[in-house]
Structure 1
Amino acid sequence: MTPSLFSRPAWTAIIVCAIVLALLPILNLTFAPDHALHVSSYTVALVGKFMCYAMAALALDLVWGYTGILSLGHGVFFALGGYAHGMYLMRAIGKDGVYQSNLPDFMVFLDWKTYPWYWSFTEHFWYAMALVVLVPGVLAFVFGYFAFRSRIKGVYFSIITQAMTFAFMLLFFRNNTGFGGNNGFTDFKRILGFSITAPTTKAALFLITLAALLGAVVLCRWIVTSKLGRVLQAVRDSESRLMFIGYNPLWFKLFVWTLSAVLCGIAGALYVPQVGIINPSEMSPGNSIEMVIWAAVGGRGSLLGPIIGAFSVNGLKSWFTGAFPDLWLYALGLIFILVTLFMPQGVLGLAKQFQRKREAA
Structure 2
Amino acid sequence: MSILTNEKARVWGGFAIAAILLFAVAPAVLSDFRLSLLGKFICFAIVAVGIGLAWGRGGMLTLGQGVFFGLGAYIMAMHLKIADAELRGDTVPDFMQIAGIRELPGYWVPFSSPIVAILGILFVPALVALLLGLGVFKRRVKGAYFAILSQALAAAFAILLVGQQSTGGSNGLNRFRTFFGFNLNDPANKQMLFFIAAGTLLAVVAITRQLMYSRYGELLVAVRDQEERVRFLGYDPANIKLVAYVTAAFFAGIAGALFVPIVGIISPADVGIIPSIAFLIGVAIGGRSTLLGPVLGALGVAWAQSAFSESFPSGWTYAQGLLFIVVVGFFPAGIAGLIALLKRRKKQSDDPPPEAPEPAEEVEMAR
TM norm structure 1: 0.91
**Paired position in structure 1 for 2:233:** 245
**Paired position in structure 1 for 2:358:** none
Is the Cα contact below 8 Å between 1:3 and 1:225 reproduced in 2?
no
Is the Cα contact below 8 Å between 2:27 and 2:35 reproduced in 1?
no
TM-aligned CA distance change 1:254 to 1:352, over 3 Å: same
CA shift for structure 1 position 72: 0.5
Q: Which whole-Å deviations, capped at 9, do the CAs of 1:187-244 have from their partners, x for residues lacking one?
A: 1011121101211111111111111111001101111111111111111111111111
- 2:209 aligned with 1:209: no
Alpha-carbon distance in structure 2 between the residues aligned to 1:357 and 1:25: 34
**Paired position in structure 1 for 2:79:** 88
Is the Cα contact below 8 Å between 1:299 and 1:309 reproduced in 2?
yes
CA shift for structure 1 position 95: 5.6
Within 5 Å, give how 1:100-179 maps onto structure 2: 101-176=90-165, 178-179=166-167
Q: Which whole-Å deviations, capped at 9, do the CAs of 1:261-306 have from their partners, x for residues lacking one?
A: 0110001101110000011111221111111111110001112000
Alpha-carbon distance in structure 2 between the residues aligned to 1:222 and 1:183: 40
**Paired position in structure 2 for 1:234:** 222
Look up the SS of the partner of 1:118 in the other structure: coil
CA shift for structure 1 position 24: 4.8
- 2:50 aligned with 1:59: yes
CA shift for structure 1 position 343: 1.5
Alpha-carbon distance in structure 1 between the residues aligned to 2:92 and 2:5: 52
Is the Cα contact below 8 Å between 2:91 and 2:104 reproduced in 1?
no
Alpha-carbon distance in structure 2 between the residues aligned to 1:136 and 1:101: 29
TM-aligned CA distance change 1:5 to 1:165, over 3 Å: farther
Alpha-carbon distance in structure 2 between the residues aligned to 1:268 and 1:298: 21
Alpha-carbon distance in structure 1 between the residues aligned to 2:200 and 2:168: 28
Q: Which whole-Å deviations, capped at 9, do the CAs of 1:37-86 have from their partners, x for residues lacking one?
A: x5311111011011110000001111001111111000110111010111
Alpha-carbon distance in structure 1 between the residues aligned to 2:212 and 2:5: 10
Comparing 110-119 with 314-323, greater Cα deviation is found at 110-119
Q: Which whole-Å deviations, capped at 9, do the CAs of 1:147-184 have from their partners, x for residues lacking one?
A: 111111000000010000100100001134x2111111
- 2:60 aligned with 1:69: yes
TM norm structure 2: 0.90
Look up the SS of the partner of 1:94 in the other structure: helix
Structure 1 residue ranges (4+ consecutive) displaced by more than 3 angstroms after TM superposition = 1-14
Amino acid at match of 2:33: Y
Is the Cα contact below 8 Å between 1:298 and 1:346 reproduced in 2?
yes
**Paired position in structure 2 for 1:256:** 244
Give the alignment partner of residue 188 of structure 2, picking from 200, 205, 208. Answer: 200
CA shift for structure 1 position 119: 1.2
Is the Cα contact below 8 Å between 2:54 and 2:61 reproduced in 1?
yes
Gaps of 5+ in 2: 351-367
**Paired position in structure 2 for 1:301:** 289
Amino acid at match of 2:311: A
Alpha-carbon distance in structure 1 between the residues aligned to 2:26 and 2:85: 29
CA shift for structure 1 position 114: 1.5
Amino acid at match of 2:120: L
CA shift for structure 1 position 25: 6.2
TM-aligned CA distance change 1:220 to 1:96, over 3 Å: same
**C-alpha RMSD over aligned residues:** 2.1
CA shift for structure 1 position 17: 2.7
CA shift for structure 1 position 13: 4.0
Alpha-carbon distance in structure 2 between the residues aligned to 1:265 and 1:3: 34
Is the Cα contact below 8 Å between 1:5 and 1:225 reproduced in 2?
no
Amino acid at match of 2:69: F
**Paired position in structure 2 for 1:31:** none
**Paired position in structure 1 for 2:255:** 267
Count of aligned pairs between the two proteins: 348
Structure number with bigger Rg: 2
Alpha-carbon distance in structure 2 between the residues aligned to 1:113 and 1:201: 32
Look up the SS of the partner of 2:171 in the other structure: coil
**Paired position in structure 1 for 2:277:** 289
CA shift for structure 1 position 342: 2.1
Gaps of 5+ in 1: 28-37
**Paired position in structure 2 for 1:332:** 320
Amino acid at match of 1:274: I
- State the identity %: 38
- 2:6 aligned with 1:17: no
**Paired position in structure 1 for 2:340:** 352
Is the Cα contact below 8 Å between 1:5 and 1:221 reproduced in 2?
no
Alpha-carbon distance in structure 2 between the residues aligned to 1:5 and 1:174: 56
Comparing 7-16 with 202-211, greater Cα deviation is found at 7-16
Alpha-carbon distance in structure 1 between the residues aligned to 2:329 and 2:15: 29
